Structure 1
């Protein structure tokens, strides 16, 4: 059994032209280019979800964006009491 499958994708002509140019410039096949784009998309999506979760947790604890640097430095110094201000 094959370890890969074929996928047909439609792109607007100008996007296809840019994709071919990018693949050529990067010395990659179109398949490699699309696989890398998907990996990066998945990675970005994961980080976006992690950031949203962190933002939600911070908001539920009353932590504002401007508090974050102070809290990080306090925890790194080991002064957790300072972090609770």
Structure 2
């Protein structure tokens, strides 16, 4: 009853949206990203590296999306008898 098409879209999308938009903020992640034995929070330098890695290769990813969109536009621009 709490998965898939049984719930509203916002409910299903919450976990991924939370992870993408909020969970990486230092004041939020400090509440749950703790060492499993010591309870120490994630070190600041490690968190900084994780945040910086999110934008790695974004130029290529963007170009790939644009190329796919351009190809899609070409396919949809073909006449029906082509």
Which structure's CA Rg is the greater one?
1
Task: Give me the TM-score of the superposition, normalised by structure 1.
Answer: 0.37
Which of the pair is proportionally richer in helix? 1
